[in-house]
A and B are shown apart, each in its own frame.
Chain A
Amino acid sequence: MYEIATIDYIIIALYLAGMVGVGLWFAKKHTDFEDFFLASRSLTTPLLITTLISTYYGIDVLFGDSQLGFTNGVVAWFAYARPTYAFFLIAAFLLAHRLREDDFKSLPDILDKYYGKKTRYVGAVTSFIYSLPALSLYGFGMLGEVILGWEPIMGMVVLGGIALVYTLTGGFWAVAFTDSIQFVLMCVVLAMAFPFAMNLIGGFDEMIEVLEPSYFDTMGDMSIWLIIIYASTGLSILVEPTFYQRIFAAKSYKNVRNALVIGIFIWGSYDWIITIIAMAAKVAVIQGTLPFDVAPDAALLTIMVAALPAGALGLFMAGVLSTEMSTLDSYCLVAGGNVAYDIYKPAFKPEASDQELIKTTRHGILLSWVLGFAMAISFDQMLGLWVFMASILISSVLAPILLGMYVPNFRKPLAGFLSAGLGLVSTVILNIYIMTNGVFDLEEETYIIDWFGIDFMLEFVMYITVPISLIGFFVGVLFDKGDHHE
């Protein structure tokens, strides 16, 4: 635990109380399900920017980027973060427009329209698993321990519980409002932190002089296969359930496009500053200002505690908490919607009223939180879980959604069902197989299994499961003799 002044604690407490206040304020104001789940499709460009950016950036990005910046330098931005922006541009100009053509409310809605109910349910299960907040809760455990000196489980319950309360009560309006406050907090604090970090190490020129030249090599020394895999995880943006939810909740397509184009500059700046501050932490370690054994994923937090004055540190800590809360609330809400709107209503009660749907969504939010909590306390290696979560979505729904969207003749029920179903099942089986039969490599920080003399990493699962999903799709197109859907 770090030394933190009383004023910093007061700032953190005020921030947490404010978040709960917003949720309670919206508690009784929802008119119908669309209002609760999509804020009546009335999000304007500024609201979309704030909610898109704060949701997509959890502490996995904050600490993941900073860990790479600390150990490898600017490659963290050029090879990991930059490809993502290309996918956001694709989403802005090629995807969002088509998603707004119909009255969709969720990702499984699209699968239902293209392929029918069975594929809808597979998509709903995939989206629900992907949205379980296990990583966020694990992150809260870590933050509670580092910032407040709590046991990890206490951090998960208290900090994760606060995000749960305002999501349960306030729905998407509360999520969008809190996201906006969290957005400005995390961005301003990070921008403010840069000069303090430079002041600590003696300036930017000192950093260039002290660090090895490889720290400024834009492509570093990573293998091309890993670069391809990390770059292709950006594909998940094209089928991201929370991203889709924001596109559906926008006032118009133009709002989405403008928000994404403006957002890319803010995303890029955010990633870059994290990378540079983490590199500054490395300099501080070499200079002896920070302890030599500082963990790479704690580098960002450690240098901030050393560099920021009281008050500013409290804001930074609140900013870090914001980063994670805005992620947890959004995913819980999507998971709740999957339970109520995508499964319960079509499968069990088509005549369910809006109030009933809101109530069931709240039950779904609670269920996703509890399942995420169980996963967070039972998994030893969160990285393995992260890879699983990322691969499940791409392997299952990417092919049927994009192929169905652009080639209407491919909209055959069997094609959608086989593609999504085989993608989901093969991802689950392969991940479990490698995690149970492989070994965790501390150097590579991933599970590795020896297959035919090749060290097969957990990250490579998508090289098998995406082709399986594609084969399933085209087998379905070939053997489904019925008319295409819609």
Chain B
Amino acid sequence: MSNWEIFTWITVIILGFGSVAVFVLFVKDIKEILKKFHKE
């Protein structure tokens, strides 16, 4: 496996898992924000 390919797989992991992790944290935050809207 070439260095280019290793680098590409690292970026695939960062993009795939990183974006899902950020989205999960977003969903956690959003619960709080939606509560605020329901109160109003």
Contact = CB atoms under 8 A, between A and B. Distances in A.
A183 B29 contact: no
Binding site of A, secondary structure by majority: helix, strand, loop or mixed?
helix
A74 B3 CA distance: 13
Nearest to A268: B11
A446 interface: no
A184 B4 CA distance: 25
B11 to A, nearest CB: 4
Interface stretch (A122-130, A190-198, A229-237, A240-248): A190-198
A44 B33 CA distance: 10
B35 to A, nearest CB: 12
Contacts of B40: 29, 31
A202 B9 CA distance: 16
Given A29-B40, A46-B26, A265-B18, 12 more contacts: A31-B40, A47-B30, A50-B22, A180-B30, A184-B20, A187-B19, A188-B16, A194-B12, A269-B15, A272-B7, A272-B8, A273-B15
A433 interface: no
Contact of A49 (B7, B16, B22): B22
A390 B22 CA distance: 30
B29 A46 contact: yes
A274 to B, nearest CB: 10
Given A183-B19, A184-B20, A191 B26 contact: no
Given A191-B15, A269-B14, A46 B33 contact: no
Most A C-beta atoms less than 10 A away, residue of B4, B14, B19: B19
A205 B14 CA distance: 22
Interface of A: 29, 31, 42, 44-47, 49-50, 74, 177, 180, 183-184, 187-188, 190-192, 194-195, 204-205, 208, 216, 262, 265-266, 268-270, 272-273, 276
A188 B8 contact: no
A141 to B, nearest CB: 28
Contact of B20 (A47, A188, A265, A273): A188
A31 B29 CA distance: 20
Residue of A177, A205, A269 most packed against chain B (CB within 10 A): A269
B37 A29 contact: yes
Given A45-B25, A46-B26, A205-B2, A273 B33 contact: no
User: What 3 A-B pairs have minimum CB-CB distances, sorted nearest first?
Assistant: A187-B19, A191-B16, A269-B11
B13 to A, nearest CB: 8
A72 to B, nearest CB: 15
B27 to A, nearest CB: 9
Most A CB within 10 A of own CB, among B5, B26, B37: B26
Nearest to A195: B12
Given A29-B40, A46-B26, A183-B23, A204 B16 contact: no
B23 A269 contact: no
A188 B13 CA distance: 10
15 contacts: A29-B40, A46-B28, A47-B30, A50-B26, A180-B30, A183-B19, A184-B23, A187-B18, A188-B16, A188-B19, A191-B16, A268-B11, A273-B12, A273-B15, A276-B8
Contacts of B19: 183-184, 187-188, 191, 266
Contact of A187 (B7, B8, B15, B29): B15
Contacts of B5: 204-205
